[in-house]
Homo-oligomer: A and B are copies of this chain.
Amino acid sequence: MTTYQNWQNNETLIKDLQAVEEMINQHIRIKNKQIEAQIKQVTNNHGKMLRPLFVILTSKMGNKYDHNKTIALAAAMETLHMATLIHDDVIDQADTRRQIPTLHTVKDNRYAIYAGDYLFSICFNMLSKYTEEFDILNYNARTMEKVLIGELDQLEARFTPPKSVKRYLSRISGKTAQLFAVSCYIGATESGASLRDRQRAYNMGKYIGMAFQIIDDILDFKGDEKNVGKPVMADIRQGIFTLPLIYSYQQQPDAVSALLKRPKPYTDETIHALEQQIIQTEALDAAQRLAERYTHKALATLSKLPEGSYKAMLGQIISDMLERTL
């Protein structure tokens, strides 16, 4: 089930993303065909394929372009992302992702843990086969490290007072923005871009990822289950206190704190009261403004990159991501 966005009716891009999907499928080869099919069901149930999209677009930045390599590196990024999603779903005990039952629900946690690990190994298999830059491999390994440090911090911080915007930003920088940053970096590097432009591509990706995660966290408050693909306010129920709640807490520490101290799991009434607090303090607007700031930083960085037709498309995608409702 594919959910391409409006901005993805560019035929070349669609074809490239289909090639990415095929490349991932080709690499998943398990003697036990039942297990193989189950893992492929997960990888084929992808979302917007944003990370591969950024690899593909930034790979047009320099004057070298190798189609197969680009597709493989884009596939590696998507596979890494999927591996983390499978483990996230085990950890959150999420029953569905994008309306499809999650692997640990269809089989069990044990399968899902190994399947995630398997996808990690596929990612590094692809990378080591297709790139000639050790730098890229090392960036990837360190990206994966930062993703996990972010996730571990998020676990540790569960149900602790939502005080620090700084800690929130540092966490989402690890768990989300790094993978966008490295996707743009990989494309730029393989295209033969200058060191300075690679660094810019990395920064642009990081800003894109920050905005993306903030919007994601806003949608957890605003979206309905059918659109967002997971229950609304799922984060708060799990003790993950994101930016809107932090802003709300900063304005009304006593009221928010009293609500958060209530017995867990929170009742629907508590969740509703927290929702009211967030509305009253206009915390969603404040969060939206921060996402806008990151989007503007991403666009400003993009404007400094070498000219080329890829830039208009990238700019449009970055802007559209800010407006997304799912």
Contacts and interface: CB of A to CB of B under 8 A. Distances in A.
Interface of A: 30-32, 34-35, 83-84, 87, 90-91, 109-111, 113-118, 120-125, 127-129, 132, 134, 137-138, 140-142, 144-145, 147-149, 151-153, 155-156, 170
A105 to B, nearest CB: 16
Nearest to A153: B32
A40 to B, nearest CB: 13
A115 B109 CA distance: 16
Contact of A138 (B129, B132, B147, B148): B129
Contacts of A153: 31-32, 35
A90 B117 contact: no
B114 A155 contact: yes
Given A31-B149, A125-B142, 9 more contacts: A35-B153, A83-B117, A91-B113, A91-B114, A109-B109, A115-B148, A116-B117, A117-B117, A117-B144
The copy count of this chain in the complex is 2
Given A32-B153, A128-B138, A137-B124, A87 B113 contact: yes
Contacts of A123: 141
A12 to B, nearest CB: 30
Main secondary structure of the interface of A (DSSP, over half): helix
Given A120-B144, A124-B140, A144-B121, A87 B114 contact: yes
A290 to B, nearest CB: 22
Contacts of A32: 149, 152-153, 156
Contact of A155 (B83, B111, B116, B117): B111
B128 A141 contact: yes
Contacts of A155: 110-111, 114
B35 A114 contact: no
A91 to B, nearest CB: 4
Given A125-B141, A125-B142, A138-B125, A118 B35 contact: no
A141 B152 CA distance: 24
Query: Which 7 residue pairs are nearest across A and B when measured between Cβ atoms?
Result: A121-B144, A128-B137, A125-B141, A124-B141, A118-B148, A128-B138, A121-B145
A114 B91 CA distance: 9
Contact of A142 (B117, B121, B147): B121
Contact of A118 (B31, B121, B145, B156): B145
Nearest to A132: B134
A82 B137 CA distance: 21
